[in-house]
Amino acid sequence: MTEASNTEGLRCNLTNYGDPGFALFLRKAFIKGSGYTDDALDRTIVGIVNTGSGFNPCHGNMPQLIEAVKRGVMLQGALPVEFPTISLHESFSWPTSMYLRNLMSMDTEEMIRALPVDAVVLIGGCDKTVPAQLMGAASARKPAIQLVTGSMLTGSHRGRTVGACTDCRAFWGMYRGEEIDDQEIDEVNSRLVGSVGTCSVAGTASTMACVAEVMGMSLPGSATPPAVTADRMRFAELTGQRAVELAREGLTIDKIVTPEALENAFRVLLALGGSTNGLVHLAAIAGRLGYSLDLAEFDEMSRQTPVLINLKPVGEHYMEDLHRAGGVPRLLQELDSLMNKEVLTVTGRTLGEEMAEAPAPFEQDVIRERSAPIYPAGGIAVLKGNLAPNGAIIKQVAAHPDLMEHQGRAVVFEGLEDLSNRIDDEDLDVTADDVLILRNIGPLGAPGMPEAGYIPIPKKLARQGVKDMVRISDGRMSGTASGTIILHVSPESVAGGPLGLVQNGDQVWLSVQERSIELLVPEEELQSRTEASAGKNQVEIPKRGYHKLFIENVTQAEEGVDFSFLQSETLRGSVPQRRG
């Protein structure tokens, strides 16, 4: 058979023996032991990243997806070969999956570089896997296409539709507040997850699936089919077919994920009311391609972009409902004039061309028209002030309106252990008007910036019916959570950030309208505290292993919590781009 000149197949990335001919001879000899013919080995090779794991139910449909992708590859006359990488699940990663995201990205990048593949299909789903794969692919610069595993089906509890993990948090909150008993919490535990797949709400996995699609890295319409549906398998087959074409066209990620494409991703993140983690991941992906995150421009974009998706945790519906309503293509119809339509997508066509072929809209209540949004501005707002000189964020669409302008007394927790030990202490000096401060849980402090920013309401207040309080941390929060929660405070406490200076009883002022978060303490007092704390709260450098690599190289939230040595050596600009 005849291949395009830019595909190398088995001849790609030959092992260094000092004799290329012998390297190819040896490679073919070994792989023929698996039963391959010369005809098969002479074709374009598409690698398929297998992130299946018994510890990752979000990827429980991986075997079926791989078979469907292989079918698509072979329909195009190429050879599919799967290979494994690290697999991460939120609930099965200690100390937190974010700690391991960069390791997975390195694994993905190096395997793409090392193996004889002309293109690669990235199959991921759970929160950190899709960003890790896109980060790795961005650095490897080979033709790549993303396929997500899809969301789980919802369950049912006493006649009510439930799904992970917004409802997990709702029921756990009721249990902490003694609104439900041991029997019911055990019962609902078996009802929340209806099948394998990622969370059934607008959490991080769903956010990144939609973001990958609008960024041009996955097929139009492929973000939303649930994991165990025929639509999901059909998209897997189509993804395999398109991967072969990508190899022959030489279409790499840097030609797709441009500044304009990243702006589209930010826009959809905001319109989804999506996970705050999405901002960290997009900053990391952008950094691999040479672009820094401009938080001020992102906030300006937020002011112009309404939330249109009626999904939990900020709405009523689930991912399967979003799919039935038309998915991302339908959302893009509503965002039409706000999108950069000239950008290239993984289909080889522009986003505008794909949008023009989207099905006609029909009546539904999951994707709102811009004239009737869920929220008039974007889901995320950027805050600054003397408590967060480099910025912090709040998921304003999920915050309580009465707390968006608030002044309260600080109640400080020094870290996760302190929080666990004292949050439910009946003697804790705390009221509903106070501001809970949790520090030392940033990229360096925890380490890994865990999703502990969703600080639980103290049990004695929960019993009184308190559902929300202002909470501030240098950590992250699950995309499935809601509340008036300030996150990603930068610099983090252990990096010398002012969050480390807050004392119990200090007054803290939050104004989302003014985009401000302030510690109401005189400057001279803050200076005195800074001098007194010098050298006291430093991170100990581990002596060995990945932990040492992490602590010595991890960046802050606004830089994507990536490793500095993995970012592009050339800074090409910032995103979103400044205009006017």
What would the pLDDT profile of 123-142 be if each residue is shown by its tens digit? 999 999 999 999 999 999 99
The 8-class DSSP code of residue 409 comes to E
Mean pLDDT confidence for 238-251: 98
pLDDT of residue 489 exceeding 50: yes
What would the pLDDT profile of 395-426 be if each residue is shown by its tens digit? 999 999 999 999 999 999 999 999 999 999 99
What would the pLDDT profile of 160-217 be if each residue is shown by its tens digit? 999 999 999 999 999 999 999 999 999 999 999 999 999 999 999 999 999 999 999 9
Three-class SS state of 396 = helix
Strand bridging mode 405-413 / 388-394? unpaired
pLDDT of residue 259 exceeding 90: yes
pLDDT of residue 538: 81
pLDDT of residue 580: 63
What would the pLDDT profile of 41-86 be if each residue is shown by its tens digit? 999 999 999 999 999 999 999 999 999 999 999 999 999 999 999 9
Give 537's pLDDT tier (boundaries 50, 70, 90): confident
Question: How far is 385 from 365, CA to CA, in rounded Å?
Answer: 38
Torsion angle of C-alpha atoms 300, 132, 323, 265, degrees rounded to 10? 20
Instruction: Write b or e for each residue in 453-489: b if 16 or more Cβ atoms lie within 10 A of its Cβ, otherwise e.
Output: bbbbbbbbbbeeeeebbbbbbbbbbbbbbbbbbbbbb
DSSP letters, 295-325, are: HHHHHHHHHH--B-B-BTTTSSB-HHHHHHT
Q: Which CATH number fits domain 381-533: 3.40.50.1820, 3.50.30.80, 3.40.50.150, 3.30.365.10?
A: 3.50.30.80
Question: How far is 121 from 134, CA to CA, in rounded Å?
Answer: 11
Give 2's pLDDT tier (boundaries 50, 70, 90): very low
Mean pLDDT of the chain: 97
Question: How far is 298 from 15, CA to CA, in rounded Å?
Answer: 45
pLDDT of residue 3 exceeding 80: no
Q: Which residue, among 322, 338, 334, 328, has the nearest Cα to 264 in the 3D structure?
A: 338
Question: How far is 74 from 86, CA to CA, in rounded Å?
Answer: 26
**Any bridge partners for residue 384, and if so which?**
516
Mean pLDDT confidence for 136-164: 98
pLDDT of residue 6 exceeding 80: no
Mean pLDDT confidence for 4-11: 72
Mean pLDDT confidence for 468-493: 98
Residue boundaries of the structural domains of the chain = 156-189, 381-533
pLDDT of residue 534 exceeding 90: no
Give 535's pLDDT tier (boundaries 50, 70, 90): confident
What would the pLDDT profile of 215-237 be if each residue is shown by its tens digit? 999 999 999 999 999 999 999 99
Percentage, residues of the chain above pLDDT 90: 97
pLDDT of residue 560 exceeding 70: yes
Three-class SS state of 24 = helix
